[in-house]
Structure 1
Amino acid sequence: MLREDLTFVGTCDIAGLVRGKGFPSTELPARRKIGIGWTHSNLMQTCFGPILDTPFGTAGDLMIVPDPSAEVHVDFRDGSAPEHFFLGDVRNTDGSPWACCVRTFLRRAAEALKDASGLELLAAFEQEFVYTGVEDVPGHAYSLNAFRRQGVFGEMLMAAIRAASVHPDSFLAEYGPRQFEMTVGPDVALRAADAAVIAREMARGAAFRLENRAIFSPMPVADGAGNGVHIHFSLHDASGAPVTRDPNGPMGLSVVAMHFAAGVLHHLPALCAVTAPSPVSYFRLTPNRWAPTVADLKLQDRSASLRICPVFDAEGQEQQNAQFNLEFRVCDAAASPYMALGALIFAGADGIARELTLPDTEAALPTSLTAALDVMEESAALKSWFGPVFFEAYLRHKRSEAAYVADLSPEDLCARYAEIY
C-alpha cells in the first residue's frame, strides 16, 4: 500500500473539539515556523459543524503554529496510521497571539495568578466517558468484572497515553452503564490542559481501532449517568513547594488557598458558561446525580462544586502537604480544557488579589446554558479576562448553539450530543 506520513496541527476550540489541518510530515520543519492557515470564523464552528453566527465574517487569516512540547506520535502497531499531531497556538500573521486563542487564554490566567501571588498552579484532569465496546451489565459499577470485560481497551489507552509523553495515573470502571474514568498525573497549567486533550484523543483513538467509541458527552442519555471532568489542583511557590495546605486553616486550607477557593465560588455561577458549556451539561448538574447544584466548598464530599480531597497516611508533613489538593467538579468534556482551567485560575487569582473570604451562603448554579450565559454576560470580571473580542465571540457562539437545539426533547438532545462527543 502506497502511503505518505501525515502530521496534523490543531487547537481544542470553543466547542471542546480538536480542529486543524494535516500536511505531509516532510514539511514539518517549515510548518514549525509558519504553521497552517486558519481563519477567524473557524472559531465559530459549533460542535455540530455549521457556523451559525460570527462576528468575524469571511475576512482575515490566522495561523495555527505547532508547539513542539505538545507533539503526539503514537503507533498502535495494528497497521493503522499513527496518531501524529501537534497542539498549537492560534496566531496572527505577524506571529503575535490571537485574542481568541484558547491556549493563550490559559497562559494569561497563569500570569494573572503569578502577578497576584507569585504562585503557579498544578492540575490533573479526571475524565469520565462511556466505552461502547462492552455490554451493559447492571450492578457492576467499579467491579473487577466490568474492568475485565473492557478487554484490551484499557491497556491500549494507558499505553497510548504514556507513548504520548503523558503520565497515566488510573483507569477504572465507573458508576454509570459502560462508564469508565481515566486520570493523568499533575502538571503545570498549560501542560495539564494539553495532557487532558491528548488523553481524550487517545481514548477516542484506542476505541476507534477496536471499532468502538469513547463517548465523552456530559449526558449520553437523558435519564442516565453523566460524564464529568474533574479538575484537581494545588498551588506551589517559586521553588515548587506546595502551599495549599495549612492544618490549622479552615478545612485545612492555607490563607492563599482559601482566597483562591473564595474567588472560584464567587464567580462560579458565571464560570458555568465556560466549564459546563452545553445544553446537556445542565441535565448532569441536577440533584441526586453526584454532581454540584450550588457554589459550595466541602471536605471530601463528591456533591460539592469544590471538594477538598483526602490526605492519606503519609510520612511527615512534607508528603501530606504534597498530597493535599482541591477538586473542581463543575466541568465536562463539552469544554475546552484550556478554557475551563483558564477560567478557574482567573477566578482564583481574583480571589487572591481581592483577599476574598469564603461565603456564608451557597449561591445556586444556573440550571440551563442560556441562564449561565446571561450571568456570564453581566460579569465585568469575565469580560476583562476574555477581552472584548473573545468575550463577544464566545457568547455568540454558545447562544447560537443553544438556539439551534432549543426545540429538541431531552432524549433527542442527549442523542445529538452523544453523536458528537
Structure 2
Amino acid sequence: MEPSEVKTAEEALALVEERRLNHVKVGVFDIDGILRGKWMGRDKFASALSKGFGFCDVVLGWDSNDQLYDNVQVTGWHTGYPDAEVRLLPGTCREVPFEGDMLFMLAEFAGKWEAVCPRAALRRMIDKAGSMGFGVKAACEYEFFLFDETPESVRAKNYKNLKPLTPGFFGYSALRSSVHADLHLSFIEAMEQMGIPIEGLHTETGPGVMEAAIQVCDALEAADRGALFKTFAKVFFQRHEIMATFMSKWSMDYPGQSGHVHLSLTDAKGKPVFHDAKAADTMSDTMRWFVGGQQALMPELLAMTASTVNAYTRLIPGFWAPTDSTWGVENRTTALRVITGSPAAQRVEYRVASADSNPYLAMAAALGSGLWGIENRIEPTPGVVGNAYDMKHAARLALPRTLWDAAQRLKRSKAGRALFGDAFVEHFAATREWEEREFRRHVTDWEMQRYFEII
C-alpha cells in the first residue's frame, strides 16, 4: 500500500505494520502556519487514531518565537496550559523524504480549540461552499529566496551581508536552472515523494529567488500541500546547507515574496461554474459575484493574508504587490487577477497574500469572502485596465497599511465574524496585535542610522 492510498485509521495502521515502523511523525499547524510536531510510538499512534491525543495548547498560545501571548482567551496562564484535543487525519498520510520508510500524518485541533484552529477555519469555508452546492479547486504558488547560508551562519552575521545562492536579477533563467539542475530536480522529486506535485519551478527576478507552483487539487488538500511545502522546502535546502526564506520582504532592494492562492468553483457534479462563453470576459454571474465579495472584504480580512509586520513592507507600488483591493483580467498590478480560458482553467488569483501567510487562513479568507459575495450578489467595481498603481481608487478599496490597522479592521468586520466566528476573530486579531506590539518594542537599524548622531 502507498501512503497516498490511506484513507482510514485501519489502513494507516496496516501501513505502519507493513513497514515495521516503531515510530510515526505527526504534526499540527499553529496560528502562524508553523508545523509543530513530534515522533509518536506505534502503540500510542494506534491509540491516537481511534481516540485522539493531547498536544499542549501552548502551541495556540505563543508566537513564532515561542513567546507567550498575553491577550488571548482560549489558552494562557489562566487556563494552566492543558493539553488540547487533537485528532489525527489518516487521509493526510505521507512519506517523509530523506527518512527511509518514515510516515508523516497531519492532525487538527478539536474540542473548544477547534474554533481557533487554522485548518478547521478553512474546512468550515469548504463545508459552506458545499452547502451552497459548490466544490472548490485550489492551488498555492510561492516565491522564496535561497541563500548560501546555514542557521548558524545567519545568526553569526546577525542576518546582514547574507550570500544569495545565485547573483543578480535573472528571472526564468534557463542558465541558472541548468547549472543547478541536480539541486532543482532533487527538490522536485522530494516534493513529489511527499505528495506535493510541483507544476512549475523557475527562477524569479532577484538574487537566489525561486517560484514554485503547486498542482491544483481539492481546496483542503491544496492548503495541506502549501503548508507542508513551506516546511519541507526549508528542510530540503537546509540538508544541502542552503537556507530558504519565505518572509515577505528580506531586502527593500528586491520585490517581496508572494503566496498567491488560485481558486475556482465547480457544481455538485464537478462541472466548472466560473466560465460563461456569452458573458463579458467569459465571467459567469457566479464568478463575478465571487470576485465582488473578495474585493469588498479584502481590506477587512487582510490580517489573515498579510499576517506579519514584515508583510506590509511588500504592499507598496511598483513591486508586483497590490496596494488597493482591485481586480482585472490578466492584470498583475491588481490584487485579484481573473484568469480566463477554458472552463476548467478559468479562475481567480488572490494576489495580496504573502509567502509568509498561513496557507489555511489565506485560502479561508479568499474563499470565504468569495462565497459571501455570491450569497449577497456583490458586484465588483469595473475591472482595471492598465496600471493599477497609477490610478486613484475608491477610499473603501484601500488596504490597511499596518498589521495593527488590519487587526482592527478584522475585529470590526461583521462579515468576518459571520464567516469565521467570534472566537476565531478575537483570538487571531489578538495574536496580530501582539505581533505588532512586539515589533514596537525594538529599535531598528534604520532608526539608529537616521537618528543616533544627527537628530
Same fold, judged at TM 0.5 (above): yes
**Corresponding residue to 2:423 among 373, 381, 389:** 389
1:12 Cα deviation (Å)? 1.9
Q: 2:263, 2:367 within 8 Å by CA — same for their partners in 1?
A: no
Q: 1:153, 1:206 within 8 Å by CA — same for their partners in 2?
A: no
Tell me, what secondary structure is at the counterpart of 1:405?
helix
1:251 aligns with 2:267: no
TM-score normalised by the chain length of structure 2: 0.81
1:267 aligns with 2:297: yes
Residue 17 and residue 295 in structure 1: after superposition, are their counterparts in 2 closer, same or farther (change >3 A)? Answer: same
1:153 Cα deviation (Å)? 2.6
Superposition pairs of residues 15-414 of structure 1, within 5 angstroms: 15-25=32-42, 27-53=44-70, 54-55=72-73, 56-58=75-77, 59=79, 60-76=82-98, 84-92=103-111, 98-115=114-131, 117-133=132-148, 135-311=165-341, 320-359=342-381, 362=394, 363-408=397-442
1:119 Cα deviation (Å)? 0.9
Taking the aligned partners of 1:129 and 1:384, their CA distance within structure 2 comes to 34
1:379 Cα deviation (Å)? 0.4
Counterpart amino acid of 1:231? V
Q: 1:90, 1:98 within 8 Å by CA — same for their partners in 2?
A: yes
Q: 2:122, 2:361 within 8 Å by CA — same for their partners in 1?
A: yes
Aligned residues: 395
Structure 1 window deviating more from structure 2 (132-141 vs 398-407): it is 132-141
1:9 aligns with 2:23: no
Give per-residue Cα distances to partners, 1:105-139, cap 9 Å, x unaligned: 11111122233x31121000011101124633223
Residue 411 and residue 237 in structure 1: after superposition, are their counterparts in 2 closer, same or farther (change >3 A)? Answer: farther
Residue 36 and residue 132 in structure 1: after superposition, are their counterparts in 2 closer, same or farther (change >3 A)? Answer: farther
Counterpart amino acid of 2:41? P
Q: 2:23, 2:40 within 8 Å by CA — same for their partners in 1?
A: yes
Tell me, what secondary structure is at the counterpart of 1:7?
strand
Give per-residue Cα distances to partners, 1:332-371, cap 9 Å, x unaligned: 2332211111121111111111111113555111111111
Give per-residue Cα distances to partners, 1:274-307, cap 9 Å, x unaligned: 0111111011110010111111111111121110
Residue 341 and residue 369 in structure 1: after superposition, are their counterparts in 2 closer, same or farther (change >3 A)? Answer: same
Counterpart amino acid of 2:412? E
Tell me, what secondary structure is at the counterpart of 2:286?
helix
Residue 23 and residue 140 in structure 1: after superposition, are their counterparts in 2 closer, same or farther (change >3 A)? Answer: same
Q: 1:383, 1:391 within 8 Å by CA — same for their partners in 2?
A: yes
Taking the aligned partners of 1:410 and 1:264, their CA distance within structure 2 comes to 35
Residue 328 and residue 255 in structure 1: after superposition, are their counterparts in 2 closer, same or farther (change >3 A)? Answer: same
Counterpart amino acid of 1:91? A
Counterpart amino acid of 1:159? E
Taking the aligned partners of 1:337 and 1:410, their CA distance within structure 2 comes to 29
TM-score normalised by the chain length of structure 1: 0.88
Fraction of identical pairs, as percent: 26
Counterpart amino acid of 2:106? L
Taking the aligned partners of 1:333 and 1:365, their CA distance within structure 2 comes to 18
Tell me, what secondary structure is at the counterpart of 2:415?
helix
Tell me, what secondary structure is at the counterpart of 1:333?
coil
Structure 1 window deviating more from structure 2 (262-271 vs 135-144): it is 135-144
| TM-align CA RMSD | 2.2
Tell me, what secondary structure is at the counterpart of 1:200?
helix
Counterpart amino acid of 1:349? L
Q: 2:146, 2:165 within 8 Å by CA — same for their partners in 1?
A: no
1:73 Cα deviation (Å)? 1.3
Greater relative contact order structure (CA < 8 Å, 6+ sep) = 1
Gaps of 5+ in 1: 312-319, 414-421
Taking the aligned partners of 1:287 and 1:161, their CA distance within structure 2 comes to 34
Tell me, what secondary structure is at the counterpart of 1:229?
coil
Taking the aligned partners of 1:410 and 1:147, their CA distance within structure 2 comes to 36
Q: 2:84, 2:113 within 8 Å by CA — same for their partners in 1?
A: no
Gaps of 5+ in 2: 1-20, 149-163, 383-392, 448-455
Q: 1:264, 1:344 within 8 Å by CA — same for their partners in 2?
A: yes
Q: 1:9, 1:64 within 8 Å by CA — same for their partners in 2?
A: no
1:205 Cα deviation (Å)? 2.0
Taking the aligned partners of 2:405 and 2:367, their CA distance within structure 1 comes to 22
Q: 2:144, 2:355 within 8 Å by CA — same for their partners in 1?
A: no
1:152 Cα deviation (Å)? 2.7
